[in-house]
Amino acid sequence: MSQPRQIKQPGPASPERIVAVEGRGRAITLTLEAGRLLVETLAEGFMAQGFAGGTVDMAGVVLSPCAYVMPALSKTGENAAFYSDIFRPAHAVTIDQGQMSLGRRDGQAFFHCHALWQEQDGLTHGGHLMPDETRVAHAITVQAYGVDGAIFEANPDPETNFKLFGPVSEPDHGSLAMQRCFALRLRPNQDFHAALEGFCRDHAISNALVYGGVGSTIEARFDDGRSIRNFATEVFINHGKVAPDATGGLVAHLDVGLVDYQGQTATGLLLRGDNPVLMTFELVLAQID
């Protein structure tokens, strides 16, 4: 295994490396209305089922117009990495795979979404969708996970010098959710798998599913030997779980998609123990035992 990769951030590191808020949640379906801003129709759908926010599986959603950015190198040094200029595809795009965290920013509904799709050039593209410019082209029902008692909220983060989603407590909205869950944010320069496994041990969780999962890693190593060597990535978790292995020890399994700052995309199962967080990673961890 290679030596742990680290990226120096511009601000001081908080001693709290995992930010967590416990809540209750359940899997739900949401219908997205054609012609609506994606963020608005999603927020209304969550609220109608008694949730202020949660996570969304974006597979199959058709967007037009669509606006997105990719990861990029920092030009000023004020951040360890930054964003590209905004891309606006001329035609509708259909999301092949992607995940979203739906929460709020500046008191309004907001989302953090990374996804992959094909464009008319026949190539797979990917990036970070822009909430204020992205609309639903065709009505569709999507799989989601609603969280009561917690919400992802964008707040200034001194360590990375970004305004980032992190979990905060939220009054119950009257949902019927019964499943114990945690809204989590992982801070930079810690191993992704080890952080989730350690959190589960510390909170007496022996079996859990990951819902959503949006963030970045320092490069990427896959369990089949493939690697992404460009350090700035935009990553989402297609499928994730933390479960006991044959010896009873907790093991995280994280199947992801990503795009790096040169536009290279990849999907697959991350190699355990060799994928540190770059800027952030937020997700919902739901106890299933």
**Tens-place pLDDT, residues 261-289:** 999 999 999 999 999 999 999 999 999 97
Distances (CA, A) of 215 to 78, 174, 184: 19, 29, 12
Instruction: Tell me what pLDDT residue 172 has.
Output: 83
Output the average pLDDT for the chain: 96
Task: Say how far residue 201 (Cα) sits from the centre of its chain.
Answer: 22
**Tens-place pLDDT, residues 18-43:** 999 999 999 999 999 999 999 999 99
pLDDT above 90 (res 254)? yes
- Lowest mean pLDDT across 119-123, 128-132, 165-169, 182-186: 119-123
Instruction: Tell me what pLDDT residue 1 has.
Output: 45
* Neighbour-count burial for 20-39, b at 16+ CB within 10 Å, e otherwise: bbebbbbbbebebbeeebbb
Instruction: Tell me what pLDDT residue 133 has.
Output: 97
**Tens-place pLDDT, residues 157-188:** 999 999 999 999 998 877 887 899 999 999 99
Which domains can be identified in the chain, with CATH numbers? 18-287 (3.30.1330.80)
Report the C-alpha gap between 66 and 60 in whole angstroms.
14
As a whole-number percent, the residues of the chain with pLDDT over 90 amount to 94
Instruction: Tell me what pLDDT residue 205 has.
Output: 97
Residue with tokens 């909205």: 173
Report the C-alpha gap between 266 and 220 in whole angstroms.
9
**pTM of the shown model:** 0.96
Average pLDDT over residues 217-239: 97
pLDDT above 50 (res 4)? yes
Q: How long, in residues, is the chain?
A: 289
Residue with tokens 């008692």: 149
